[in-house]
Structure 1
């Protein structure tokens, strides 16, 4: 896929392609909802392209990669020992999925496991007590730079108390923001939260993962949660 080309989801709402952030001359490969004004994921966030000569392809080892003008790999899914017979698809949920085609379309990697600053419906923030691994949001460095910024948003579980924290990594001693404990319907530190309208759920998958996610309460509205470069988590109604 060359710079001028795109990959779209079946319903046409999500697009994978090359874009330039506002007030920037750098090029990135990302996924956006309907227009480039709502970018929800970036592949090469920490290594930009300097021109429009970039290419997205599947390498010989089966990994999707982004190449620069010199054909150097500047981003890869880095699935170890992946199959040579793979394909990538952009789903209607906004998830980029790498599948292995030989043994029944097994999923090898997906972008929901490596989010940036946006929580989409069905995407899970998670914390694993057994492996000490997390799926978390990380802010952009600035509105014109999607590289890793100063803030992260993650799930914290202490005994039976589950909360969502935002951390400012310039001040690591205390959280920048906290949701308050989950009481089974809402996070108690968010007074405007409604158990009927927000659609949030907290669960344990039985494998040590504590998950926080949300589902859409109405098919007529599409809501996402974006953490801006200043560490503020905001609900956005996008059309």
Structure 2
């Protein structure tokens, strides 16, 4: 809990914004609460809401959600050595609670653990403690946003919540040059491709941002390796 506490404020703000946004695009209270409980992914929720509001085809919404969450394939591979002794069902359950910060904090603490010391009770409870704390804060603040959405002035509309959502989504991600390059690229592409049909500009922006961040990461690693090799 203490390891993740400093980040829970951002999680709460993000959840609150997402709750407001779900109601502002036209979801009922029951639908919004159902979505936040079932999906538990702020990036997917905020990426899919404009598509839902625009009556985009289901396949576009699903494809966008899949692209946005591709990073969890990498996360799962990184955590597999620590949880492989669990049954498939338990691993599926644990995957529901996995979020970016839990993955990052967990590996920063246990990545160097010897192979025969992975999957210990301490590690499992550490992961569960972080994930449960994040889940409770997210759901509490998201539902608060759903309930309080009616208090947001109507003239602010979806545009206001979209701006708040963009800030909430972007700030936690901008850590280092690759993330900054990816965020700027996604922002520029989102503006340029805003006129694409079916709101595909969002999907294109996400893909471009991920590609730019990955390319920047590779280039920086190569430059670092080259510099290290010549000193």
Q: Please indicate the TM-score interval, normalised by the length of the shorter structure.
A: under 0.3
What TM-score do the two structures reach when normalised by structure 2? 0.27
Structure with the higher strand share, 1 or 2: 1
Higher helix share: 2
TM-score of the superposition, structure 1-length normalised? 0.26
